[in-house]
Structure 1
Amino acid sequence: MGLTRNFLVTTVTILLAVNLTVNACPPSDRAALLAFRAALNEPYLGIFNTWSGTDCCTNWHGVSCDPETNRVADINLRGESEDPIFEKAGRSGYMTGSISPALCQLDRLTTLVVADWKDISGEIPACIASLPHLRILDLIGNKISGQIPADIGKLNRLTVLNLADNQISGSIPSSIVNLNSLMHLELSNNKLSGEIPSDIGKLSMMSRALLNRNQLTGSIPSSFANIYRLADLDLSMNRITGSIPAQLGAMPVLSTLNLDTNQLSGEIPYNLLSNSGLNILNLSRNSLGGNLPDVFGPKTYFTAIDLSYNNLRGSIPKSLSSAKYVGHLDLSHNHLCGEIPTGSPFDHLEGSSFADNDCLCGMPLRTC
């Protein structure tokens, strides 16, 4: 009887151990995560203290696995979040080190978020472009340098590419236009140079493109207008030249367009100001000339229009008074002349909105 009981206990123990092993992450995934951790130093919060034991699918901070395969699917490490670890410490995250190429061994990875750690440096491992299931790549808010991997376009499932607020240089890879699932592209506040790919309009699923605060040159690709879903386009604070493509004014979903602080010239396309869907328009600090198009009407609704610091001439269109709503209007530092129209929105604007023009008069400036 005793032998039978011992045999049963031993059998159950072995079965439990086998079951735990089956439900745990593969040793290769665990090894890749530990190599990733070894390349980083997080001195204050101890977020990697949970990365212990054989099963990286259970209670490893920021790691989750596919419930069917137990392969690592998501790495989600944000240095600024509402996680109890940060709330208890009363501080945001800080981390040094680099992103290890060992991550590329996690070939079932769908999400890689290593964001807002302030001091992670080094380059983006080129092999990241070989992760076939990657949908989200978010490395915002670090000190990552080097170039965007040339083969980034191989990630045909990628929906979010956020590399903003780093020190990435070089050009935008031409292969980026092959990311046919991409919805959000954020590359702002880096050191990117060269031209925007002319066929960027192939990114037909994209709703947000933020390329501001770089050193981009060349002209604005007219193919942006082919992106039907594009609602937010920010190319401000670059070195972009040429004129504003008139096609942008015909975009049906575009809500925010920021082109300020570039070297744009030519006239403002009339359909930019008559587009009833456009809500925020900033063309300030360029070399735009010509007259202000007289195209405003009852459907005009702008939260903000900033056309300051250009070479605009002529008078302020009286049709602006018929607009449904204009919250903020800045026409300062141009060469405008004549009487400022009366009524809304002019009755709530300050003199600074019209300052430093050639010969504007009327409220809120001097009497004509």
Structure 2
Amino acid sequence: MMDSTNKSLVILLSNVVVLLLAATTVQSCFPSDRAALLEFRAKLNEPYIGVFNTWKGQDCCKGWYGVSCDPNTGRVAGITLRGESEDPIFQKAKRSGLMTGSISPAICKLTRLSGIIIADWKGISGGIPSCIAKLPFLRHIDLVGNKISGVIPANIGMLLRLKVLNLADNQISGVIPPSITRLTSLAHLDLRNNNISGVIPRDIGRLKMLSRVLLSGNKISGQIPESLTRIYRLADLEISMNRLTGSIPVSFGKMSVLATLNLDGNLISGEIPGTLMTSSISNLNLSGNLITGRIPNTFGPRSYFTVLDLANNRLQGPIPASITAASFIGHLDVSHNHLCGKMPAGSPFDHLDATSFAYNTCLCGKPLGYCKK
């Protein structure tokens, strides 16, 4: 009979064999994942660089360009295909060439997918498969720089792990789905330069992890939701070149990390909140609106602007004397308003060009002409 020592050795060796077999198993991709990738690839055409030349053999986790797998499960976890890349495969061609085709719903068969990056090809069209909202592990969607049309899937709010949603520079229409306010892990939202209409969801402030909200270059209407000012991590808010109306929420000036606030090219009215001039905002662009009243006389040592653009509005009165107390103003533009009066002396007026003050009612002083007595 086998003694206890030998039994222990046999059990130990058996466990080692099982572990080795398991390790061998997860090195190869699942056949179903491989089939889904090939179905996905069949809807795309890229003749110049040969991005898909490596998509051969049985193991899609090894050597297939742009495909990454989870080493623990062997399941496909990411697809990364960028049209503008420093990767050596792109340096073989003098030009990147265009990938055309569409995003196949077959991508939804990759049930463990956490990242989809199909960016900057400029030729991929069609819609976003609505089934991607059923991929529970998705954390990153980046489809920037294509010709994708249709709408953002209405049920995108099901992607509770999603951190990045970048659909900029496409031809997407429809509205921002109300369900987007359920994406409580979302940190980066970029929908710039599309054909999106409707309003910004009123309760977007529920997304407490957001640091960037970029919605410029669309057809968004309605007022700026007050709830945006309750996102304490928000650093960049760009809603330029839309159809926004109403006034600027005063609470923007109380946000602790907001550095960029670009609202230019809208139909915003009302007055400029005085709190904006002593806030954390360093890039403030309110040009091309219907803003009235005076430039707030609330500048002080905390006022630091790389850009302060108030041009093309309906501002009246003088340029406030307190502006010289700002710690720094790099670019200032108050042209095309109804300002009148003598320019304050000192910084920043000693390094600004006269064009920054042109087309006002009766501004005078350096760098403009002398004031009449």
Residue 68 of structure 1: aligned partner: 72
- 1:110-164 per-position Cα deviation (integer Å, ceiling 9, x unaligned): 0100000101000000000000000000000000000000000000000000000
CA contact (8 A) 2:126 2:150 kept: yes
- 1:63-115 per-position Cα deviation (integer Å, ceiling 9, x unaligned): 01000110000101111111001122132341110000000010100010000
Residue 87 of structure 2: aligned partner: 83
How far off its partner does 1:20 sit? 5.8
Partner SS state of residue 193, structure 1: coil
Structure 2 Cα separation of the partners of residues 248 and 299 of structure 1: 15
User: Are residues 1:130 and 2:134 paired?
Assistant: yes
How far off its partner does 1:19 sit? 7.9
Specify which of 161, 167, 186 is matched with residue 182 of structure 1: 186
How far off its partner does 1:23 sit? 2.8
User: Are residues 1:168 and 2:172 paired?
Assistant: yes
Residue 331 of structure 2: aligned partner: 328
Specify which of 241, 252, 257 is matched with residue 248 of structure 1: 252
User: Are residues 1:199 and 2:191 paired?
Assistant: no
How far off its partner does 1:17 sit? 11
Structure 1 Cα separation of the partners of residues 317 and 153 of structure 2: 48
Residue 240 of structure 2: aligned partner: 236
- 1:289-328 per-position Cα deviation (integer Å, ceiling 9, x unaligned): 0011100111211001000000000000011111111000
CA contact (8 A) 2:49 2:96 kept: no
Partner SS state of residue 52, structure 2: helix
User: Are residues 1:351 and 2:354 paired?
Assistant: yes
User: Are residues 1:341 and 2:344 paired?
Assistant: yes
Figure out how many residues of one structure are paired with residues of the other and give that number: 352
Specify which of 313, 317, 321 is matched with residue 318 of structure 1: 321
CA contact (8 A) 2:332 2:356 kept: yes
Residue type matched to 1:42 in 2? E
Residue 305 of structure 1: aligned partner: 308
Q: Does the C-alpha gap of structure 1 residues 22 and 351 become closer, same or farther in structure 2, counting only changes over 3 Å?
A: closer
Residue type matched to 1:338 in 2? G
Partner SS state of residue 32, structure 1: helix
Residue 111 of structure 2: aligned partner: 107
CA contact (8 A) 2:26 2:72 kept: no
CA contact (8 A) 1:337 1:359 kept: yes
Residue type matched to 2:102 in 1? S
Residue 15 of structure 2: aligned partner: none
Structure 2 Cα separation of the partners of residues 93 and 280 of structure 1: 36
CA contact (8 A) 1:86 1:93 kept: no
Structure 1 Cα separation of the partners of residues 88 and 52 of structure 2: 15
Partner SS state of residue 77, structure 1: strand
RMSD: 1.3
Partner SS state of residue 368, structure 2: coil
Residue 14 of structure 2: aligned partner: none
TM-score, structure 1 normalization: 0.94
CA contact (8 A) 2:141 2:165 kept: yes
Structure 1 Cα separation of the partners of residues 97 and 120 of structure 2: 7
Identity of aligned residues (%): 64
Residue 9 of structure 2: aligned partner: none
Partner SS state of residue 328, structure 1: strand
Point out where structure 2 has 5 or more consecutive residues left out of the alignment: 1-19
Specify which of 285, 288, 292 is matched with residue 291 of structure 2: 288
